[in-house]
Amino acid sequence: MTIQISTLDNNGDARGLSFAMPPEALEFVGRVADLLFASTVPGAVRGNHYHLSKRQALVLFPGAAWSLYWDEGEGTAEQHRTFDGRSAILVLVSPGCSQAIRNEGAEPLWLVACSSKPYDPKEIVARSVI
């Protein structure tokens, strides 16, 4: 079980920013069964849970500063990393890894989650990492 973090290249031009899901992220997810688009208001937290069997590729868009909190399975150490909001960040989340994202900025934080399985509340287990 792991969390993998990488910066996405901006392939935009004069019209604006443009980011593509890298092939390795799509391979990690496998068949895409669900897409979630969400914003998080300043100071709010999303997450504090893990999925029993679903893999996710999260893309957090440039804008607000934010923090990622995670573990790599029950009984592992909680970890933390802060981002300044200048780049798009890809976070690959394995099943069993709890994660939470807190908006540290003054504007909404936007993300998209690409998942290997459809949404199922029975598949989500609360485990706070923040």
Containing 27, the helix (H) or strand (E) segment is: helix 23-29
pLDDT, tens digit, 9 for 90 and up, residues 11-30: 999 999 999 999 999 999 99
68, 129 Cβ separation under 8 angstroms? no
45, 100 Cβ separation under 8 angstroms? yes
**CA distances for 73 relative to 19, 44, 70, 110, angstroms:** 30, 24, 9, 26
Domains belonging to the chain, first-starting first, are: 3-126 (2.60.120.10)
Q: In this structure, are strands 89-93 and 3-7 parallel, antiparallel, or unpaired?
A: antiparallel
pLDDT, tens digit, 9 for 90 and up, residues 42-96: 999 999 999 999 999 999 999 999 999 999 999 999 999 999 999 999 999 999 9
> What does pTM read for this prediction?
0.95
